[in-house]
Amino acid sequence: MFIKKWKKRKNGLIVLLLLTVMAAVMVSGCGGVAGPTENGVEEPGEETAERTAPGKPLQIYAAYGGLQEIMDAFTQDTGIPVEFISMSSGEVLSRMRAEKGRPLGDVWFGGGVDSFMVAAEEGLLEAYVSPESEYIEERFKDPDGYWTGVSIVLVTFVVNKELAEERGIPIPETWDDLLDERLQGEILMPNPGISGTAFTAMASILQRLGEEEGWDYLAMLDENIPYYAERGSEPPNKASLGEVMIGISPDGVNAKREGYPVEVVYPSDGTAWWHSPVAIIAGTPNLEAAKEFVDWTLTERGQEILAFNSPRPSTRPGAPIPDDVPSLETLNLVDYNFERAARERDAIVDKWQLNLAK
């Protein structure tokens, strides 16, 4: 009798021990609630980390300035690790086409909106309407949620003030001012067949003035351009160093920040522009983390980080921006038809190469 009772009791203890171990494993697997760190700020628990970044860091294809600082801030705010590759919009599009159905990237961040439009048409993007997108103007986002603009790239004049003063030429404030005969050989612009900046500037002029008057204007502007640069960074660099007086450039604020004697002009008769979007790559296995990245870039905090590290106006009204970055309300943005520009791109570039290329 004693032996039977002992076996029964022993079996009960074993079952109790097994149940205790199982419970401990379940609690450990769930992660629980993370405790506070030494500075009193709670860190994300294992459950949060697994939900936001299952198995690998968030992979981002990016065409944006200040990437390391932006990604570091995102990781600090969310706990989500990030790996990024910097490349042009065309390179991203080619890579996504090659990876279709088995994507290695999760997010596409920054670049030309026309490339995002093509990617959406080809089924390369995942539709996602962020709750933060309600604060973004309709003209800066895709109606079906395939991409959302995070910032505005502006086509500006980077003007060397010392050269302008030395030669007694007023700093140009409009596109018409660039036709001044005294500026012959003093304006540098990128090749529109290569540069999105130059193509957007040309297409904006043609849309604003009309085909005939627009091409007449471009022919007159050509008289003051000694050659067309092969890289978009060359015109502002040459103007900063005083090798030409004016460089047509995207933004241009960095040259001024670096201490060069330049003025950044946003043409009052029409500032050409495009929005730089963020989108989720179709088929990503890291969807929840990708959504969190999109959300973060559109918050006031994210927009502030973006504007500080890559000086451009924000698409979110009221988001904090540096003093040397203009708000959209102060600019005369060209009423630009992106779909039309995309349709006419090849014809415009071909006509330019035939008549104006040097």
pLDDT for 214 equals 98
CATH number (domain holding residue 264) = 3.40.190.10
Whether residues 245 and 281 share a domain: the answer is no
pLDDT category at 171 given cuts 50, 70, 90 is: very high
pLDDT category at 10 given cuts 50, 70, 90 is: very low
State the residue for tokens 């009221």.
Answer: 318
pLDDT for 87 equals 86
For residue 296, the enclosing domain spans: 53-152+274-325
Report d(CA 274, CA 250) in Å as an integer.
10
> For the segment 17-73, what is each residue's pLDDT rounded down to a tens digit?
333 333 333 333 333 323 223 322 233 343 333 334 445 899 999 989 899 999 999
Q: Tell me the two tokens of residue 208.
A: 């604003």
> For the segment 200-246, what is each residue's pLDDT rounded down to a tens digit?
999 999 999 999 999 999 999 999 999 999 888 899 999 999 999 99
Between strands 58-62 and 262-265, the pairing is unpaired
> For the segment 101-114, what is each residue's pLDDT rounded down to a tens digit?
899 999 999 988 88
> For the segment 14-23, what is each residue's pLDDT rounded down to a tens digit?
333 333 333 3
pLDDT category at 3 given cuts 50, 70, 90 is: very low
| Among 311, 248, 276, residue whose Cα is nearest residue 112 | 276
- What burial letters (b/e) apply to 172-188, b meaning 16+ CB within 10 Å? beebebbeeeebeebbb
Whether residues 239 and 203 share a domain: the answer is yes
Q: Has residue 201 been placed in a domain?
A: yes
Report d(CA 326, CA 328) in Å as an integer.
6
pLDDT averaged over the chain? 85
Q: Has residue 48 been placed in a domain?
A: no
Share of the chain above pLDDT 70, in %: 85
> For the segment 240-295, what is each residue's pLDDT rounded down to a tens digit?
999 999 999 887 898 898 999 999 999 999 999 999 999 999 999 999 999 999 99
Q: Has residue 14 been placed in a domain?
A: no
Residue 11's φ and ψ, nearest 5 degrees, are: -65, -40
Whether residues 65 and 90 share a domain: the answer is yes
Q: Has residue 28 been placed in a domain?
A: no
Instruction: Please state the domain count of the chain.
Output: 2
Q: Span 317-339, mean pLDDT?
A: 91
Report in angstroms the alpha-carbon separations of 341 from 6, 11, 129, 151, 291: 87, 79, 26, 20, 30
pLDDT for 72 equals 98
Q: Answer whether 229's CB lies under 8 Å from 191's CB.
A: yes
